[in-house]
Amino acid sequence: MKQHLLLFSLFFTAGISQAETVTLELLNGDSITGTIVEELSDDQEKILDHPQLGRLTIRASSLKPTSDPPAWSTSITAGLIGNEKDGDSSLSTSLNAESKYKNDKNILVFKAGLNTNQSQDKGEPLDIKTQKGSAGFRYDYRLNDDFSFYSLTDYNYDGKNDAGVNSLLTGLGVSTSIIQNKTTEFTLSIGPSMQWTNGGSQCGQDIYCGNTYAGAAFATDLSWKPTPRFKLELNNLLSTAVTPKLKPGNSLIAKIKFYPSIYSKLFTSFQYTSTYQSMSTPELNNSTSIQLGADF
């Protein structure tokens, strides 16, 4: 455990200390990409290390005025893999969408996802191996520079579960931003929650299925973009339900995005999802996917 914490700390230290790569837009319409030398730059001029031209000094008066980022942003990814041979066929699909609204005081995030996997051997009935869906909503209201109030709803569907096909968690509490800079956002959230599970062929025989339990939730959210071509996103939601026995749950979504061009909003995404819910049968479900996506 200590080794994992040490590696985790080194990972963040490397991400925070890494020089910032930016693209500066000039008044004449040209643009130049390089690494900002923060200790030598000020409001009057920017000192830039260019990979081919070396160190450059760019006057602030020659830069195109920057505009505020749009309040709404959306990211959509999709993946499709199909195969057919000698009458045997298989099809895997994945689709994810996220929309975010952000201003000085409020942050709204909507998420939805779909993941299916099915196959059919020649002369045999269709075999659905994976049938998953998810939806989430989160609202943050900034109280001050250090703390925010949040409320969230997280829904997961797994049609292959014997008990707990539907799983719903709602919660509210306080969040704090541990790291907030141009490349890294790291937020922790904690508060009370309510959990409910239902559905499945064995729901009637499961003592937890169909019931609602109070508990607590702890969320960890990381966004790290050290360069314009690479972005890492980690979202982890740890929860526990108070029943005659404490019943934990955990949802982890890890995304790696590669942008082939700094001038394009198209990207390739690798996503890993791990869902553990001790009040469902089976308790653990993992999935991976490679997708193509776009930012709007």
Maximal CA-CA distance, the chain: 74
Q: What is the pLDDT of residues 188-235, one digit of tens each?
A: 999 999 999 999 999 999 898 999 999 999 999 999 999 989 999 999
Q: Where in the chain is the domain with CATH 2.40.160?
A: 68-295
CB atoms within 10 A of CB 61: 8
Cβ burial, residue 6 (10 Å; 0-12/13-18/19+): exposed
- Residue (of 249, 252, 186) closest to 216 by Cα position: 249
Does an H or E element contain 1, and which?
none
Strand partners, 277: 249
Where residue 8 falls (left for φ over 0; alpha for ψ -120 to 50; beta otherwise) is alpha
pLDDT score at 289: 86
pLDDT score at 20: 61
Bigger pLDDT: 263 vs 166: 166
Name the CATH code of domain 1-67 (choices 2.30.30, 2.115.10, 2.60.120, 1.20.1550). Answer: 2.30.30
Q: What is the pLDDT of residues 265-279, one digit of tens each?
A: 899 999 998 989 898
30 HSE (CA, 13 A, CB side): 5
Name the CATH code of domain 68-295 (choices 1.10.3470, 3.30.1540, 2.40.160, 1.20.1070). Answer: 2.40.160
Average pLDDT over residues 144-167: 92
pLDDT of residue 286 exceeding 60? yes
| Residue 38, helix vs strand vs coil | helix
Bigger pLDDT: 65 vs 145: 145
pLDDT of residue 96 exceeding 70? yes
Whether 82 contacts 100, CB under 8 Å: no
DSSP, res 61: G
pLDDT of residue 68 exceeding 90? no
Bigger pLDDT: 112 vs 85: 112
213 HSE (CA, 13 A, CB side): 24
Strand partners, 224: 184, 232
- Residue (of 64, 85, 250) closest to 154 by Cα position: 250
pLDDT score at 53: 84
pLDDT of residue 4 exceeding 50? no
Bigger pLDDT: 108 vs 145: 108
Tokens representing 45 are 């001029």
| Stated pTM of the model | 0.73
Contacts of 13 (CB under 8 A, 6+ apart): none
Average pLDDT over residues 233-241: 95
pLDDT score at 33: 86
Q: Where in the chain is the domain with CATH 2.30.30?
A: 1-67
pLDDT of residue 12 exceeding 60? no
Bigger pLDDT: 239 vs 45: 239
Query: How many helices (DSSP H) and strands (DSSP E) are in the chain?
Result: 1, 16
pLDDT of residue 2 exceeding 60? no
pLDDT score at 7: 42
Q: How far apart are CA 98 and CA 92, in angstroms?
A: 21
Cα–Cα–Cα angle for 141, 146, 152, nearest 5°?
Answer: 35
pLDDT of residue 140 exceeding 90? yes
**Single-letter amino acid code for the residue at 268:** T
pLDDT score at 9: 44
Least confident of 35-49, 153-167, 186-200: 35-49
Tokens representing 168 are 């719903």
Whether 238 contacts 250, CB under 8 Å: yes
pLDDT score at 1: 42
Average pLDDT over residues 129-151: 91
pLDDT score at 81: 73
pLDDT score at 226: 92
Least confident of 135-139, 223-227, 242-246: 242-246
Least confident of 101-110, 127-136, 152-161: 127-136
pLDDT score at 115: 87
Give the distance from CA 11 to its chain's centroid. Answer: 18
Give the distance from CA 32 to its chain's centroid. Answer: 30
Tokens representing 284 are 């653990």
